[in-house]
Amino acid sequence: MGKPTGFMEYKRKVPSSKDPSERIDSWEEFVEPLNEEALQQQGARCMDCGIPFCHVGGDIDGEEVGCPIHNLIPEWNDLVFRRQWREAYERLSKTNNFPEFTGRVCPAPCEGSCVLGISEPPVTIKSIECAIIDRAFSEGWVAPAPPKIRTGKKVAIVGSGPAGLACADQLNHAGHEVTVFERDDRIGGLLMYGIPNMKLDKELVKRRVDLMAAEGVKFLAGTEVGRDVSGEELLANFDAAVLCGGATKPRDLSIEGRGLKGIHFAMEYLRGSTKSYLDSRFEDGNFISAAGKDVIVIGGGDTGTDCVASATRQKCRSLIQFEILPQPPDARTPENPWPFWPRILRTDYGQEEVGAVFGKDPREFAIMTTRFEGNEAGQVKALHTVHVKWVAVDGRLQPEAIPGTERIYNADLVLLSMGFLGPEDLLLDQIGVERDRRSNARAEFGDYATSIPRVFAAGDMRRGQSLIVWAIREGRGAAREVDRFLMGTTALP
């Protein structure tokens, strides 16, 4: 630890952002990085705490804490403080294949478990991580490094999201011939079409994909395994396959009026918006537009926030975001102690932007939609709602309507962002992969082997909807086990 008193001398500081009222006119990234001196000071706040829960990446009482990929956080914090940036990059790249992604879009469970966070705001780990990798690219430290020896073994990766890319990267460095299949027209999966450009610039995704291609990974975009290539063909042509197709089956809201026009799943909306932006800067019109519409987003997670931010940029007439859960507290409660993820009220970038445009936070908490109302043309025009309280039924909390709280909200565009139920059925059924009780591909954590020989599964397709950083961990873990399966032993971490 270079600065034993750093956590007492310096306050937490995070990168600034462009003013919300200004940035809504742009689909470009809006975070303005900290300068080197500020980053040094933030690195100095790392306490050398003895037991760094930030990178423990473990399970305590059934809850995950810390960084799932076990980033060497105290080490590279100290190296940034000492201005040893290249060494910091080398430490970071030992555990994280894509810090330029996690440094931008990860919610930072590491910060939730920072020991300093017991009594002070935690270290700005995520910002330092992002600064390290951005500097590494700008200095030319990140360069293609193809393996010197090839094993002759061929591995297919189905899906090019963070799990698939991490798995492909690791297996390629182990010397195997890796082919990544992606059904979309661009490589990146969730990173490309599931996250808006202002949150993650797609040139960063392309830069990493191009680097991997230069190292020998083969990418096949526009190729859906299960349709364009059968599962049988895949197994006939490769020594092993890893299923990383994600948990892309959205949770629906099966209530009266669901079939009305103007009601869409969040990913349908976000994908079309990002693709149109990348293809033509929206000139082609091939997207669902919120322009001039009363928009309601049902769901309060990250994807819901991305819908809020996108609709605001498209100049919607009004915007409301529904959350069925109660409003979280402003600070930790005794039932939510450190080092668990702090379940507190956060105002994300989308809510900030709505506040700047419409003068208030768009969120309505503890509210449930009971039916959709349409007009004569079959277009949604209103949502009927009721506020709820959460009560225990057979040991489980369930929402219960509060009489007298019924209300009608006008809306001509409704975006459903209520999470995902699991992977799509086509490929898993075609290959015959056994499922778990949540419909995910059954494969044990740490082993990743499915019920079908030579077929492995990782990421959301195996564990269900989760964080990008967990997808990277799963991809890395699956790569290790595939390498062990092919070679009898492995040196992959």
Distance from C-alpha of 328 to C-alpha of 212, rounded to nearest angstrom = 41
> Is residue 84 classed exposed, middle or buried when 0-12, 13-18 and 19+ CB atoms within 10 A define those classes?
middle
Contacts of 444 (CB under 8 A, 6+ apart): none
Distance from C-alpha of 490 to C-alpha of 174, rounded to nearest angstrom = 9
Sign of CA dihedral 388, 322, 471, 136: negative
Q: Name residue 197's amino acid.
A: N
Contacts of 41 (CB under 8 A, 6+ apart): 6, 9, 10, 13
Distance from C-alpha of 364 to C-alpha of 300, rounded to nearest angstrom = 9
Give yes or no for a contact between 105 and 200, defined as CB atoms under 8 angstroms apart. yes
Give yes or no for a contact between 418 and 432, defined as CB atoms under 8 angstroms apart. no
- Tens digits of per-residue pLDDT, 61-99? 888 899 999 999 999 999 999 999 999 999 999 999 999
Distance from C-alpha of 347 to C-alpha of 305, rounded to nearest angstrom = 10
Task: Check residue 59 and give its pLDDT.
Answer: 84
Beta bridge partners, 392, equal 397
For CATH 1.10.1060.10, the residue range(s) in the chain are: 6-139
Helices then strands, counting H and E runs in the chain, come out as: 17, 20
Regarding the domain delimited by 6-139, which CATH topology (the fold level of the hierarchy) does it fall under?
Answer: Fumarate Reductase Iron-sulfur Protein; Chain B, domain 2 (1.10.1060)
- Tens digits of per-residue pLDDT, 304-329? 999 999 999 999 999 999 999 999 99
Which positions of the chain have pLDDT values less than 70?
A: 1
For CATH 3.50.50.60, the residue range(s) in the chain are: 154-248+421-487, 252-418
Give yes or no for a contact between 382 and 373, defined as CB atoms under 8 angstroms apart. yes
CATH 1.10.1660.10 matches 252-418:
no
The strand pair at 363-365 and 396-401 is best described as unpaired
Write the CATH number of the domain with boundaries 154-248+421-487: 3.50.50.60
Q: pTM of the entire structure?
A: 0.96
Task: Check residue 1 and give its pLDDT.
Answer: 67
Distance from C-alpha of 464 to C-alpha of 458, rounded to nearest angstrom = 10
